[in-house]
Chain A
């Protein structure tokens, strides 16, 4: 190996004597090192399922606090559930990064409306949002509902308000959504699953 002049200087003049310090009488005691504390020690562990792909990996969610009344659980870490027979504790880069999706700066926090022609969102209450949406739906349904077709067959359908369902919703949410939509006579429904 070639030793350049600069390297040589670094070693001799500047590359200072490390362990020699101790020999010169510097005690290590005041500068002892400690490994980082294990950050999950008293967190609460909750079992859940990764929401991304259909491997549906088991995850363990760690949150601050012990679920006592005054403690608002804050999710601080997620790792794989070793018991889950499929992922056996592993997670892919998406799953391993779930924490940042949960805490994304782009999570929605409040109902909002963009009025026709407006160029910004306006925060509204849940009551206002659901009331307005329900009135829109009822108005459209009442105006557009088809009771019988041209042949006089009872068809009871509503096909002017559509619905696209999530593939990330739970079975329960999906089922209830389906029940409500057919109950309203909606035939214009489809799901992410098609794509």
Chain B
């Protein structure tokens, strides 16, 4: 979230789309209800299903699963065509005026630079025009045909209300009513917040779904504002924290892009990741990359990391390919993996195409499952009849199941969706011999290190040299690790403006990432968390609920990254002179000498407004990107593409280009393409989701939750039920090309049949929460049905839109 949970109460309009906050985040949703009650805010819900969020909305509109960009592109068209944008904001704080390369083109559904054989774009033509000093050329009149504003206007001119309705199935009048409500927030003193979640990410166009919304928020001037922002309501209690610790292949802690084969030396590696400013006077904050990376190397490799050896740069593994979860199971399926460890992760249930995942696990030599609960993954080899047919004798994988403690049984910190890090305390021991994740990892590493010390082996240096300063090596204490994440001074850290001034003495905890250095004099395990445990102690344990701001900022509760800032890009809440757009909800302001107010300024505190330092400090251009010259592999502007399993004959936006039906840059593995269904045989759009009564695959183990939602079901609309002769409560079989599930039918008015591209589209809704273990009635793993393909940028699987058929069982 750019903003945070309580801040939702400051909104005038709440859009819930690509998510279902009332069900997935009920206690956060209270702030939507609060905004309605105390600010007279309106709630709009757009969803294929009339959800429990919709139940308390002011306006609900249905949409076909997988057509969000068409809807949102239509909103952009509406805002531009009706001149409902926040002009001053757009002109100053976005790249609307920036000029793009002449060669940029968008034709018949494809951007320039497409290589069909590789399914990849070369983004050379998407780049800015650069002047002699290395800065981007701009046209302040916004009239140049090459400026972002005009390119965007042309691009979305096609997204008329008629086309939107044709593609999405949303009735035209409903769409226009929502556009009107959204457009009202273009006023400087009106804001809209967007609450989205996996309903937008779990598509092959997931990242672009979100980008489209971000563009709308920028056009309306809602980013950086209290009650605004773009707010991903994330899944697990510490999913934000684990994302920040970056337990994925592409990045190191703090989103530091990990080395790849092309980054031969530390110098090359750093140079590529340390951008130059693209406009004059900009903060270009990523220029500090070497400080963050060097401090990480010092935290990991301690005294072994020296200037002479490039701070152990070569000890870091270099990445040669994609290793996201789909890629991992693809490799496993191909027999290229020998071992696998699942730490609190139940991929047999969570990852698409269960049969493929299961076949992959059966090819492993060893599998380790660390979990508080008996997961399906740990028993993939066991025969559970119709729910998991298996022949244990034929599966040679050696499987270990290690009991871990749960939240109540350990100390530590979780980071919520609003980036607030909060410490928690142990209440009791775990059951039996359960151990904490720290103890398990510590115990395992201690053994590995001892084996390497004793027997040697492949490149033992990093194994033996890894900094391990914990008092009990087999049991690192959470406090010790938290302090390491924050980081400390290894030598006195002085003020660059006044070298006689010591900011942090050697050995002291650092106060924030501004104190990090690239010369090895500081260590920090995660630069964005720097400040969480300073000399003042563990700031994540702060429990002062006082809100002196009236905005719900509670700056002394826990610690928010970065720098305890609660609203990102908050400089954009003020006009160019530093005056809040809406003084009644002022986040920060320029007081004549410095930035300050109700938040930690997202700006150099002494940057005078006349200097023109723009609010989007993580971009080298200082402004937000309506047009993305880089980082998006599937296009600089979002475009509607059909899900890989589409109920239509093609992409109605590009009916004559078979290459532009689905995301042209999404990765598809050979063998999977053939499993994608055609609408003729599998005519119904399926979508999977959570119910409020359950959490993922955990609460099926909790009796109280089993009582409130005991048995697997699928939801269908009344019209489809009539066509298929299915009555409420019947058992039905749902098939995709990858398998089938059987469940109880819930026939409901809440799933409407939509008119899309001249035909009727029915939706089959499938809650995910069941499996073959649990205290609910056993059920099928819904991911038996889902396709093995992910978003072109994030590789998040397309769980939200695929094709099935359904019949009475």
Contact = CB atoms under 8 A, between A and B. Distances in A.
A31 to B, nearest CB: 33
Interface residues of B, number: 165
A111 interface: yes
Given A94-B699, A162-B341, A172-B478, A87 B27 contact: yes
B25 A53 contact: yes
A178 B246 contact: yes
Interface string B226-242: 00000001111111111
B317 A156 contact: yes
B412 A190 contact: no
A7 interface: no
Interface in A36-86: 44, 46-58, 61, 63, 72-75, 78, 80, 83-86
Contacts of A159: 320-321, 323, 331
A26 interface: no
Interface string B435-455: 111101111110110011001
A101 B339 contact: no
A18 interface: no
Contact of A101 (B314, B325, B698, B795): B698
Contacts of B319: 157, 187
Given A72-B429, A92-B27, A108-B434, A163 B341 contact: yes
Contacts of B402: 108, 111, 129
Given A47-B425, A48-B424, A75-B428, A111 B238 contact: no
A50 B237 CA distance: 7
A51 B406 contact: yes
A9 interface: no
B554 interface: yes
B343 interface: yes
A48 B404 CA distance: 17
B429 A192 contact: no
A167 B236 contact: yes
Contact of A131 (B410, B447, B478): B447
Given A111-B402, A140-B338, A52 B253 contact: no
Interface string A170-188: 1111111111111111111
Given A133-B444, A169-B343, A180-B445, A109 B432 contact: yes
Interface in A133-189: 133-138, 140-145, 147, 149, 151, 153-189
Contact of B458 (A119, A142, A177): A142
B611 interface: no
A100 B415 contact: no
A144 B338 contact: yes
B243 interface: yes
Contacts of A48: 407-408, 424-425, 427
Given A73-B428, A97-B702, A170-B478, A132 B247 contact: no
Contacts of A145: 458-459
Nearest to B28: A55
A195 interface: yes
B615 interface: no
Contact of B374 (A72, A100, A108): A108
Given A104-B775, A180-B441, A132 B400 contact: yes
B374 A106 contact: yes
A156 to B, nearest CB: 5
Nearest to A82: B545
A191 B328 CA distance: 11
A114 B463 contact: no
B337 A162 contact: yes
A108 to B, nearest CB: 3
B226 to A, nearest CB: 15
A18 to B, nearest CB: 34
Interface stretch (B391-399, B600-608, B729-737): B391-399
What's the interface size class on A, roughly?
A: 35 or more
A147 B485 CA distance: 29
B529 interface: yes
Contact of B261 (A107, A129, A147, A153): A153
Contacts of B341: 161-164
Contacts of B234: 53-54, 193
A173 B481 CA distance: 8
A102 to B, nearest CB: 5
A183 B462 contact: yes
B324 A194 contact: yes
Given A105-B775, A113-B399, A170 B238 contact: yes
A137 to B, nearest CB: 6
Contact of A114 (B351, B398, B412): B398
Contacts of B339: 136-137, 140, 160-162
Contact of A86 (B253, B398, B416, B441): B416
A20 B339 CA distance: 78
Contact of B437 (A167, A170, A185): A170
Interface in B378-432: 381-383, 392-404, 406-408, 410, 412-418, 420-422, 424-432
Contacts of A173: 412, 436-438, 441, 481
A35 to B, nearest CB: 24
Nearest to A153: B264
A34 to B, nearest CB: 27
Contacts of A190: 247-249, 323-325, 328
A180 B202 CA distance: 30
Contacts of B314: 154, 156
A117 interface: yes
A99 B5 CA distance: 25
Contacts of A49: 237, 407, 414, 422, 424
Contacts of A47: 424-425, 543
A8 interface: no
Contacts of A161: 337-341
Contact of A46 (B6, B426, B693): B426
A175 B485 contact: yes
Contacts of A194: 248, 324-325, 794-796
Interface of A: 44, 46-58, 61, 63, 72-75, 78, 80, 83-88, 90-102, 104-119, 121, 126, 129-138, 140-145, 147, 149, 151, 153-195
21 contacts: A54-B235, A55-B417, A85-B547, A86-B6, A86-B418, A97-B703, A98-B702, A100-B704, A108-B402, A116-B397, A126-B443, A160-B338, A163-B247, A168-B407, A171-B238, A171-B415, A172-B485, A175-B484, A179-B300, A186-B317, A192-B350
- Please list the 6 inter-chain residue pairs (A to B) with the smallest Cβ-Cβ separation, ordered nearest first: A166-B344, A109-B432, A170-B412, A97-B704, A108-B403, A161-B339
Given A49-B424, A131-B447, A182-B252, 8 more contacts: A46-B426, A52-B699, A80-B27, A87-B27, A107-B374, A119-B393, A135-B451, A183-B462
